[in-house]
Amino acid sequence: MHFHARVRRLTATALLIALTACSGGGAPNATTALLPARSRIVRPAAAGSFYRSMVGVGDSLTAGYQSGGILGAIGVPNPLNSTPPANIIPPGQESGWWADVYEQATSFPPRAMYDPTVSPLPLIAGPGLDNQIVVSATSVIGESKGSESCSADGGFDQSAFSLANLSRVRLNPHSSNVRDLAVPGITLHEALTMTQPLTPTCENLPGSTGLLSAVVNGESGLFYPILGSFVGNVPNPTMVNDAVSLHPSLATVWLGANDVLKFMGTGGLFKGGDLTAAQARADEDAIVRRLQTASLSGTSVVVLNLPDVLDTPYFMNVTLPANAQVCKIQQHFYCLLTQFGVLPAQAKALNDAIAAKYGLMPPGGTCAPTSLTAPCGYLTLPGALAVVSALVAGAPVPNLDPAGPGSGLGGHYITPHFAAEVQDVNNAMNEGIDQSALDTHSTLVNIKAIFDGIASGNPANPYFQLAQVNPGVCCTLVFLGGLVSFDGLHPSNTGYALLAYAVVQALNATFHASIPEVPVKKIYAGDPPYAFPDPYAPQLRGDMKLVRQGRHVVIRYSREHRFPS
């Protein structure tokens, strides 16, 4: 999943956030809910070889994208900070779920993931692609390369649009070991059809502005950096064809999130993705069946469905929470306001005024998140932080429709009616993916059930329990709650580890394997053999929080980070 990560400044000195793309009733049983009734191929005896030939087909969620950018190099200096805790930009690819699964299934050392001579990841060189959100010297969340990445990073982002520059953007441009082929930003259908970038530049295309431009060039700057080594070697080098050329014994497929996010981010204007269950089913069937013939002995395929995107902290509900405890589990705009010391009565008044101005409150004033019958309205994370930043700076509440009425739809806010449309597309994608798993006898990992359980806040739910890696401290789906990185959409190291845990569970159940379970708590804490603690998850009570600092909105840590160098 990826929705172009060009960061837009909310104010000159305030919190910056990227518009990117990536995530609540629970499941009765944490094992059986993950799997369909049947799978197509039984694991061969040579288990090590079986898993070492695994390939990943997907988008930014499989690529290990985090916090508005993608980076595999280690020791990359943070240009906004020369001292701990944020003097190094944390790499993300090696912390993705696919990497976690590969390590567990093959006994591949976690630190070897950083080694371009042996890593199965297409490691992106520093300073990374897109504007990764990092912490500045004053603890203000900032963008690592500036708002105009085409020029601010010495043209590094622009170089990614050209195949000739592959050696500049990849640490392992000619490696035959690379097996994670996921391209951030790609849609279901594009995985079958896209053979080259849709645009040659990261600058806005003529006649296309803002989010519409982002839809076009989002995945274009990441296509060659991921798949460029296959060009000239594979006829019709789509992601799926490239994966087939590796003759995998096992393939993972996780697509569809960008079909939802691109529709959402353009206020429903983008119609280029799959929008119906029939479309999703047809494309998923085509991908899976193509992969199943990739190996002479047959390729086993594991598919993942989608979480409800409206349950991520990128979307802040404008209805009032029932009590203070809800603020710790589900993201509400009112909770964000009170976190900065706004008195409850004032927070309610501002929340209600914004909801009324932009039509965010459903009839009757109450809603049910992710419901089609009583949908909620939301401020997006950029919209909410724009309001908070103005309050902290003593400025007027900003206009969330900068280009005229309705222009902020999908970017700064989501109306109840449009939220229902987004949820409808989300549901349609899952219906198509789930049905395709039955059509193709492939293994389904029910990601939706996992995130539904976490979002429920129900202590008895097995998925909610699994997320409590440090009870009372971490982790939840609220902003800075530990499961999602700074962009509000892509998982943290811990969030990715939970996904990997579920995939390993599915592999063991389907193939009667004995892959060691993913050590979620070790990944969270950065305990050996893992290289660093999760930089997006609180390790101590009060460790990571948004606070006022003069006229700034800042993120404050109570401990130092350590990253590999």
pLDDT at 24: 30
Backbone angles phi, psi at 34, to 5 degrees: -80, -20
* pLDDT beyond 70 at 219: yes
Region 520-544 average pLDDT: 93
193-229 CB burial, b ≥16 within 10 A, e <16 = ebbebbbeebebeeeeebbbbbbbbbbbbbbbbbbbb
Backbone angles phi, psi at 304, to 5 degrees: -120, 140
Q: 3-state DSSP call for residue 86?
A: coil
pLDDT at 396: 94
DSSP state of 395: P
Highest mean pLDDT among 73-77, 264-268, 330-334, 428-432: 428-432
Region 2-7 average pLDDT: 44
**Using CB atoms within 10 A of its CB, is residue 269 exposed (0-12), middle (13-18) or buried (19+)?**
middle
Structure tokens at 283: 């494309």
Residue 547 — very low, low, confident or very high, per pLDDT cuts 50/70/90? confident
Which is more confident, 11 or 128?
128
For helices 277-292 and 416-440, give the axis angle rounded to 10 degrees: 30
* pLDDT beyond 90 at 216: no
* pLDDT beyond 90 at 176: yes
CB-CB contact of 78 with 69 (8 Å): no
pLDDT at 297: 83
Own/partner pairs for 519-526, CB < 8 Å, 24+ apart?
A: 520/466, 520/469, 520/494, 521/469, 521/470, 523/95, 523/100, 523/493, 523/494, 523/497, 524/469, 524/470, 524/474, 524/475, 524/482, 524/493, 524/494, 524/497, 526/562
List, in sequence order, every beta strand (DSSP E) within 366-523: 378-380, 413-414, 443-445
DSSP 487-516: TSSSB-HHHHHHHHHHHHHHHHHHHT--PP
* pLDDT beyond 70 at 20: no
pLDDT at 274: 96
In tens, the pLDDT along 23-47 reads 233 333 333 333 333 333 344 334 5
**What average pLDDT is seen over the chain?**
87
Structure tokens at 100: 């976690």
DSSP 318-357: -SPPSSGGGGGTS-BHHHHHHHTT--HHHHHHHHHHHHHH
In tens, the pLDDT along 117-161 reads 999 999 999 999 988 988 887 777 788 887 666 777 888 999 999
Region 392-414 average pLDDT: 93
* pLDDT beyond 70 at 8: no
pLDDT at 148: 61
CB-CB contact of 230 with 259 (8 Å): no
Region 207-214 average pLDDT: 55
Domain extent listing, the chain: 7-309+430-557, 315-417
In tens, the pLDDT along 258-270 reads 999 999 998 998 8
The widest CA-to-CA distance across the chain, in whole angstroms, is 67
* pLDDT beyond 60 at 304: yes
> How large a percentage of the chain has pLDDT more than 90?
68
In tens, the pLDDT along 350-375 reads 999 999 999 999 888 888 887 888 89
- pTM value is 0.92
